[in-house]
Structure 1
Amino acid sequence: MTTSRPPHIDASSASLEEWQKLAEKTLKGQPLSALDHRNEDGITHGALFTAADRVEGMSDALSAQGARRWVIAQYLEPEADAAVLNRAILDEVEGGTERLIITADQNPYILPDAMDGVMADAISISFDAAENPGDAAHALTTIWANQNTPAAQARGHLGIDVIGDVLTGRSVAAVAQAKMQVWIDELMPVAAEWPELGLFTLGGMRLHSFGLTSAQELAASLSHMVALMRMMEASGQQVEDAAARIEINIAMDADLYGSITKARAARVVMDRLYQSLGLRSDELSRRMRGVTSERMMSGLDRDTNILRNGTAMLAMGLSGLGQITCLPHDWLLGSTAMSRRVARNAHHVLADEAQLSHVADPAQGSYYLDAATHDLAQAAWRLFQQIEEQGGIFAALDNGMLAGWADAADADRKARVNQGEEALLGVTIHPLRGVVETGGTAISGTAINCLNGRSGLRGGPRRPAAPWEGLRLEFQEAMPRCLMVDVGGNGGSAASASRWFNAVGIDGAVMTARDAADARSIIASARPDVLVLGGDDEQIDDDELEGIAAVLPAAIFAADQDADMHAVFRAILESLMDASGGTPPDRNTTGQGVTS
């Protein structure tokens, strides 16, 4: 018979200070602040939250919107043939999709012919930044007219996002602002005949793919909403009807708690804006759609995106969003029927098997999530006010404010990845082994050809995995031989650098040398293209490095775990090319270069 060890303290009467002392023992002298986490918006949270951190009214406000099963909203890939598009539509509807989303590259005029066997009153048909919203509206009304769909049961959305058009390079701020007014004037009369026809989308997905942080994305969406409401009111529209024609989408990534916080904060700030406009927020959740992030995806190891999507989907299910979209895991390069089926099934697992849709606010009661939601909502509101002080969303686009935010956030993300503070599954850790197949339309030479259509480059211009994936393909062209040598038998710093070499597709041999002389002998025998040298710094000074480099055909890399690893590998690649006259290294060519 075994007995458990008694607790260190009496948990029933322990004070917070006593718990903190126990925690600090495990930190080996470090303070509890060593566990603090700082997100990309600069908001710092500690490791422990108590009732003292509870934000009064936060969870109550979120729960008040009620529990409901979310709407399954999924994208269709563009098709030139109506029969092929019809098969894809039937697959979605039979698989449980309730809202079909048509991409900007789809010719809307073939949609009515692609609805054979599909009951228009049983689904919602929406567009994602259609090139011509007037054509999209005509396609929808034709479908409804063909099937004699009652106006009250005709559900659709035009997805007009003029801000997204600017972000993706399809327009400029002044033109986009003018177009917004044009579409209000032309399409609000059409919408008056169809009460369930939405018009405008606050495109958080495109703001996210552009590179903005969570708070910045929410702030820009708020400013977009204000611009729309001002124009619609000026055009004589009632506030309630104007708001009913606007929905918001939010990008959700694989940061589980960060995404839960973001979705809840979006509901908080939108509720605050609704209240300032004198609107009821009962239907707010129904007008919010979460979308799994395309910016977080890998273009090389696409199967790892299933894991990313799963985490983002869980976050959305725990956030009370009214509509949810799971992008297929091969979305960047063009999805298939199978990947779209996998994406659909993610909904059913969470909603039907896990029954996450039965609770209004599953995160309620978490001191951490309530506090984090409050902090993010406050940060987003402050940034929203900054945008408005600049003159609104169009001014912020025109003067480069949003682009500056995106550039700074992107630089910070890349620095964290390049210095190993943040790992990208399938990219910088556990990458695909062996040669990546190239030569097709998706991956050719040293380029991953993410689809780039009217709605912009899939994944956006600042996708964190893109620089490393490009580097991987460039090294695959070079195919260098790599040797990793630790001198002195201590430290293992060269061997520990192997994961970075795996990230660019290089499997290096790892050896240990007794001293610098032994290292030179090993290197002279192996004659690698790339050398990783680590171990005892006292045994290798600058002269030794130069001496070792003299026997190398190309490059030397002194292991430094604090370096910008992407810059290191870029320098290695350039050294290899210089040594071989701009072509992949020839095993019989000699030359040298030093990178440290």
Structure 2
Amino acid sequence: MTEAPKRPATMTLAAHFPDRTEAEWRELAAAVVNKGKPEDQSLSTDEAIASLRTTLEGGLDVEPLYTRPAEAAPLGVPGAMPFTRGRALRDPDVPWDVRQLHDDPDAATTRAAVLADLENGATSVWLHVGTDGIAAAEVAEALADVQLDLAPVVVSSWDSQPAAADALYAVLSASPAASGNLGHDPLGAAARTGGEPDLAPLAHAVRQLDGTGEIRAITVDTRVYFDAGATTVDELGFALATGVAYLRALTDAGVDLADAWRHVEFRVSATADQFLTAAALRALRRCWARIGEAVGIPEADRGARIHVVTATRMFTRDDAWTNILRSTLATFGASLGGADAITVLPFDTVAGLPTPFSRRVARNTQVILAEESNVARVTDPAGGAWAVEALTTELAEAAWGTFQEVERSGGMVKSLANGFVAQRISGARSERDASIARRETPIIGVSMFPLAGEQPLERRARQALEVGPNALVPHRDSSIFEALRDRAAAFTKHHGEPPRVTVPTLEVPRAADLRIAAANLLAAGGMEAVESGGAVDLAATDKGYAALAPDTDVVAVLSDLLDELGAPTA
């Protein structure tokens, strides 16, 4: 009788490393921070650790080290309270819904693009309807080739929501197995256009869908707040407040609370901060489930359905190819956070309507991550990582605080009307713009490592949306540098040559590195750096820098960059 094979010994990772206490780690980290500093400038251990701490927007602190808390809260499981780890277990074969956006006003073009997407990896369709998208009357034509029993369809609109919803309902009601969302979001539409919100159509839409379990009526689309400049914390808080406002409106109209709850879905932003994105989705589910618990929704139904979209705010017009990298990180973060559906905007979306190639890249960004990285084969892969768990808790608590502030202000309807929401967004945007302008928050390809001599992408323009004076207008992070480049382009057009700045090579340590830094800084504003012809001795010039290059309009001197490489020169 042969012996059963011996089971291999369990491999213990890091078994040969000595155990270290957190106090020892702090001392080692402080030693690294103080390395090379004069003794009289050395930081204490607490000061050194504090220097490694990062503060995110919204007052969120990221510590340099996370360990298991002494009394760690239970991690929970997917599909159960508090739903942090997911609305349900992930299906490894269909990990999330690959949802492509279509906003080309030409119905034939959109119809062909929809079919191409579905045949090449997309699993659902998103039509944007209205002035800045396809006409409501063309929705049926655009969806003519879609097998509605296989591919869900959702619509969105800023200025034609009732018409968009009616058009989609007419299509979906013809197929008993159809699924999707009619896209009612009157508060989001009012915020984007500056109009007055009309919540009356909500109850009619919900009753209209009675018995159609896979078609929902409402999408809480908080991209309007984030793209206007809101922090992630406030975006989540506004999402909760908007969802509660719709529940109130529906129940006041006689709709059963459980039925109203079923119809609410969320559409939120994803950024290149992958762990913040993941934590945000986990926090949103936790908070929404807590609201469901408070109002008596059965536990099994409390999990929030979340559609994630790569944020337009982070996209750049210049060096648009870098948007592919941002979208990849955002998609990865959305996957970690357990998104139900993900939309990757094409990298050229800022320039105008996308091309078949850019649509393919956007689609394949998801497909490759899902099928080749294996990130989609695990439910909540970041769960148990204490950095993510701590950030999730901090985000949930901060977002809940925003939600409470909105409620104290009278709810989301009144908070939009009285300017509370706009003021929060304006303050956050001002702080961010200042940080971006100082290049403390770098934007690759724009404020850092700009592509000199770049030719702008040429795309068909979208129709502009007409808005009122109180509208929350999208504001991309890179726009302040794009404005500088536009001024430089106007100078070039007028004078026949680009603005040039002389950057002399100084006789100082790291002179070549400093000159490259100055050239990059100038290129970020659309200006060219030119050589001065030789090394310059600062002591010999007696600050007479203009004499170094009398034929140029501006003279840049690298001495301003010695202390801070990002400081502008003049």
TM-score, normalisation: structure 1: 0.81
Determine the C-alpha separation between the residues in 1 that align with 2:71 and 2:359. Answer: 40
Q: Does 1:418 align with 2:437?
A: yes
Structure 1 position 138, deviation (Å): 3.3
1:506 matches 2:527: yes
Could you say which residue in structure 2 is the equivalent of 1:529?
A: 553
- What pairs up with 1:53-132 in 2 under 5 angstroms? 55-60=72-77, 61=82, 62-63=84-85, 65-68=88-91, 69-81=95-107, 83-104=108-129, 105-129=133-157, 131-132=159-160
Report the alpha carbon displacement of residue 135 of structure 1 after superposing the two structures with TM: 2.6
Tell me the equivalent position of 1:18: 24
Aligned partner of 1:529: which letter?
D
Partner SS, residue 257 of structure 1 = helix
State the alpha-carbon separation in 2 of the partners of residues 249 and 441 from structure 1: 27
Distance in 2, matches of 1:455 and 1:158, equals 23
Name the structure 1 match of 2:63: 46
Q: Residue 136 of structure 1 corresponds to which residue in structure 2?
A: 164
* Alpha-carbon separation, structure 2, partners of 1:99 and 1:283: 23
- Structure 2 CA distance for aligned equivalents of residues 328 and 288 of structure 1: 20
Letter in 2 for 1:56: A
- Deviation per CA, 1:211-239: give whole Å up to 9, x if none: 11011011111111111111111111111
| Structure 1 position 436, deviation (Å) | 3.1
1:149 maps to what in 2? 175
Are 1:344 and 2:363 counterparts?
A: yes
Cα separation, 1, equivalents of 2:387 and 2:329: 19
- Note closer, same or farther for the CA distance 1:141–1:162 as it changes in structure 2 (3 Å cut): closer
The letter of the residue matching 1:78 is D
2:320 pairs with one of 287, 302, 308 = 302
Change over 3 Å in CA distance of 1:217–1:66 after alignment to 2: same
Between the aligned residues of both structures, percent identity stands at 24
What secondary structure, in the 3-state scheme, does the structure 1 residue paired with 2:447 have?
A: coil
The verdict on how the C-alpha distance between 1:91 and 1:282 changes in structure 2, with shifts beyond 3 A counting, is farther
**Aligned-partner Cα distance in 2 for 1:391–1:261:** 28
Report the Cα offset of residue 487 of structure 1.
Answer: 5.1
Q: Distance in 2 between matches of 1:347 and 1:211?
A: 26
Q: 1:435 to 1:44 in 2, by over 3 A?
A: closer
**DSSP 3-state at the match of 1:120:** coil
How far apart in 2 are the matches of 1:128 and 1:296?
21
Q: What code does the residue aligned with 1:132 have?
A: S
Residue 561 of structure 1 and its aligned partner are, at CA, apart by 6.1
CA distance in 2, matches of 1:242, 1:52: 39
Q: How has the CA–CA distance of structure 1 residues 207 and 284 changed in structure 2, closer, same or farther, with 3 Å as cutoff?
A: farther
Change (3 A) 1:375 1:93: same
Consecutive unaligned residues of structure 1, counting only runs of 5 or more, are: 1-9, 443-448, 536-557, 570-594
Out of 479, 482, 492, which is 1:469 matched to? 482
1-structure distance, mates of 2:566, 2:27: 37
State the aligned residue count: 519
Q: Does 1:403 align with 2:422?
A: yes
Distance in 2 between residues matched to 1:521 and 1:122, nearest whole Å: 70
Q: Does 1:262 align with 2:280?
A: yes
Match of 2:495 in 1: none
Following TM superposition, by how much is the alpha carbon of 1:253 offset from its aligned partner in structure 2, in angstroms?
0.4
> What is the identity, as a one-letter code, of the residue corresponding to 1:18?
E
> Structure 1 pair 144/220, CA: closer, same or farther in 2 (3 Å)?
closer
Q: Distance in 2 between matches of 1:261 and 1:41?
A: 14
CA distance in 1, matches of 2:136, 2:454: 40
Output the amino acid matched with 1:50.
T
Distance 2:105 2:239 in 1: 31
Q: 1:480 is matched with which residue?
A: 499
Offset of residue 512 of structure 1: 3.1
The range that moved more, 344-353 or 374-383, is 344-353
Alignment of 1:110-259 (within 5 A): 110-129=138-157, 131-144=159-172, 148-150=174-176, 153-171=177-195, 175-176=196-197, 179-180=198-199, 182-259=200-277
Residue 402 of structure 2 aligns with an amino acid whose one-letter code is L
Q: Pairwise CA RMSD of aligned residues?
A: 2.8
Is the 8 Å Cα contact of residues 78 and 102 (structure 1) preserved in structure 2?
no
2: CA distance between counterparts of 1:183 and 1:400?
24
Which portions of structure 1, spanning 4 or more consecutive aligned residues, are displaced by more than 4 angstroms?
283-286, 490-495, 516-522, 558-565
Contact map agreement 2:285 2:304 (CA 8 A) in 1: no
**Letter of the 2:439 counterpart:** G
Pairwise CA distance, 1:560: 7.9
The offset of 1:285, in angstroms, is 5.2
Answer yes or no: is the 8 Å Cα contact 1:129–1:455 preserved in 2.
Answer: no
Aligned partners of 2:288 and 2:304 also within 8 Å: no
Q: By how many angstroms is 1:465 displaced?
A: 0.1
> Which of 45, 54, 62 in structure 2 is aligned with 1:37?
54
Deviation of 1:71 after TM superposition, in Å, equals 1.1
Structure 2 segments unaligned to the other structure (5+ residues): 1-15, 35-41, 492-497
SS at match of 2:339: coil
Cα 1:435–1:87 change in 2 (3 A) is closer
2:61 partner letter: T
Q: TM-score, normalised by structure 2?
A: 0.84
CA–CA separation in structure 2 for the residues paired with 1:154 and 1:474: 51
Paired position in structure 2 for 1:589: none
Matching of residues 294-373 of structure 1 within 5 Å = 294-332=312-350, 333-373=352-392
Q: In 2 relative to 1, CA 16–441 (structure 1 residues): closer, same or farther, beyond 3 Å?
A: closer
Question: Take 1:486 and 1:353, find their aligned partners in 2: how far apart are those partners?
Answer: 48
2:408 is aligned to 389
Contact 1:259/1:315 (8 A) holds in 2: yes
**Which secondary structure does the structure 1 equivalent of 2:210 belong to?**
helix
* 112-121 vs 482-491, which moves further: 482-491
Inter-partner Cα distance in structure 1 for 2:508 and 2:462: 45
Conserved 8 A contact 1:487-1:516 = no
Q: Tell me which moved more, 367-376 or 396-405.
A: 396-405
Post-superposition Cα deviations, 1:161-194, rounded to whole Å, max 9, x if no partner, equal: 22222322241xxx20xx11x2124322311153
- Decide whether aligned partners of structure 1 residues 378 and 451 sit closer, same or farther in structure 2, where only a CA change above 3 A counts: farther
Task: Provide closer, same or farther for how the CA distance between residues 285 and 529 of structure 1 changes in structure 2, counting only shifts above 3 A.
Answer: farther
Following the alignment from structure 2 to structure 1, what is the Cα–Cα distance between the partners of residues 566 and 507?
25
Paired AA for residue 313 in structure 1: T
In 1: Cα distance, 2:566 partner to 2:31 partner: 33
The residue matched to 2:287 in structure 1 has which SS?
A: helix
Report the secondary structure of 1:106's partner residue: coil
The whole-number CA distance in structure 2 between the counterparts of 1:125 and 1:427 is: 36
SS of equivalent to 1:364: coil
- In structure 2, the partner of 1:378 is 397
| Alignment partners' CA distance in 1, 2:466 and 2:75 | 40
Paired with 1:406 and 1:130, the residues of 2 have a C-alpha distance of: 19
Question: What is the CA–CA distance in structure 2 between the aligned matches of 1:509 and 1:336, rounded to whole Å?
Answer: 37
The answer to whether the Cα contact below 8 Å between 1:286 and 1:323 also exists between their aligned partners in 2 is no
Q: 1:286 to 1:275 in 2, by over 3 A?
A: closer
Task: Measure the CA separation in 1 of the matches of 2:23 and 2:517.
Answer: 39
- Equivalent-residue separation in structure 1 for 2:112 and 2:475 (angstroms): 34
Separation (CA, whole Å) in 1 of partners of 2:341 and 2:500: 50
Matches of 2:563 and 2:428, distance apart in 1: 23
